[in-house]
Structure 1
Amino acid sequence: MDLLSLRCFQVVARHEHISRAAAELHVAQPSVSRTIARLEAELGVPLFDRRGRRIRLNPHGAAFLRRVDRALGELEDGRRELADVAGGGGGTVTAAAETLLTLAGLLVGFRAAHPGVDVRLHQASADAMAHRLRAREVDFCLVSQPLAGPVLTSVELLREDVLLAVPPGHRLAGRERVALAALDGEPFITPTPGHWQRVLADRLFARAGVRPAIVCEGNEPGAILDLVGAGLGVALLPAMARDSGIRATVSWARLDAPDCHRVLWLARHKDAYLSAAARSFGDFAVEHFRHFRGPARPGRGTTAPRPRT
């Protein structure tokens, strides 16, 4: 059992897909399959259930993965700590988000203030981000829904309204407030299930007995604003999308729903070592989003950051 085999197992377990794991590891697919087979033979138990070409982590694999995540995480923390002690260079920080547009404005300021820091980004679902944090593959995640797990901790960055965006010339354009009932049967643009915007929309519509007609669902939330501007349908978007530079001409309105808002969290592994570069990034992120809070007005929240575990 060597580190390369354990790393290979970790990546395969995350993807539950041999070819995707091979692509991430930059090795041939047969090599990954052989590595997993050797590891299972050495351990004496199968780590995955196989049905045709599909694989799923089984209970043995899940138990082993928890230990592997911890072991490789400790080694990575040791590498980072020694790099900090040795000095030289600005260090590295790794972050993930559901859409990289959330990080764009933050990175402009951070890179100007810390030009020597190497920043690496990942786009991932909330579930994938939780796994990356537990495996210590990233320092931080910017996420708009709670990440579960006893080893994860979060700081609230931003609390803001979620607004209705409608195309120019739409029958709802120009309204200050819109009732949920007005969206029954309305062409609706949304991310795929599991994304925070979809979770919010499904909850609001189910409670009101409303059924919009979903005309587009995808994995790039950053494209929704442009699709609304193109007249494809209406969408729920955070107030930040309205306030941070609009690429498409749309009309904005509030929904008559008391809990139509989102909270943006900065999440991390509470026991992982944070390099000097990562600590600087975390502090900068809190300060960056502070200006989005302040006196209450459409699209602006008033809640200060607080720790959440």
Structure 2
Amino acid sequence: MFHRGIHDASLGRAREKISGKRRKNSGRTKRSRRSNAQVSLDNADAVIEGDQPILFDLPTDIFGTNHYFLTRGMGVTAKTGKANLFIFAGGTAVASGAQFFQTAKMDSRAGMLFMDVPLSPKLHLYSKMVISRKLTSVEALDWHPRKWLQTGVAAGVGSNEPYFAATSDVERNWLSLKAGYISAGDQFRRVTAPSVYASELDRENILAVMKFSSGAVLTLGHQNFLQPQSADPSAPYLRASVNQAQGSFDAAQFRLGAGIFQSHSAVASNLAGDFSVARRITNSIDFGASYFRTLSGPIPAVSSLST
């Protein structure tokens, strides 16, 4: 069984999440309502079918963005030697419907092969291949030399576009520092399908969160994005950058915060500010308010107040 997958089979619909992040084996079994058979979460093969949201993450995705896409078809999880495999045949799908009733239809045929091989307790190899309208094949290494340090590197092609990423994640009591450099082709996508057009990080990216002994927190960040502009895979992509500086501190039993954000692309630039205040009323009740306002940009100033 692909022990990093999470399977939820109910009423004939199986859902599969395949992640590039490490998970512990639980050793439990889960009973599928469709077949009334037990599926081991450790070493038994499993077959799932139906509409499945699949998570296509890499160990270099350290900035908190998950990449899901909906599929329709059949998937098989298996373990051979040290390698954990996930094999899928079917296609990407588009969901529609209301809150309590959803349907999906296939929009592009696709086949997938995901592999995870633990090379050592601290080093993992990931391989992710998707064949749809175009080819995606990315290999990645995830290395944890220390409990507080994670590094990753990934390289390959996505939708026939070159891709390379190298990242480092430092997590200490007083500092969280995420840094990476990503080189993605102008029309890079993890999966080529009209229903899949998520943004990707590109070029240099850094996010630092510093926690001081006084309780104050300072956040500084610079990120670059590559954003598809429509469902058409041939449409031009837009590159944009976002800078942020935020701080918060305690004063007279209040939590005060402020931040400034700047975004820039080929079509527009914006500058905005945010102010917040919060206070604990009782052990179970907190009250807070936040005010946001654009300071400059191509459109008239916009402001909002939320509590």
Q: Where on the TM-score scale, by shorter chain, does this alignment land: which range? A: under 0.3
Structure with greater proportional helix content: 1
Give the TM-score of the pair, scaled to structure 1.
0.25
Give the TM-score of the pair, scaled to structure 2.
0.25
Higher RCO by CA contacts (8 Å cutoff, separation 6 or greater): 1
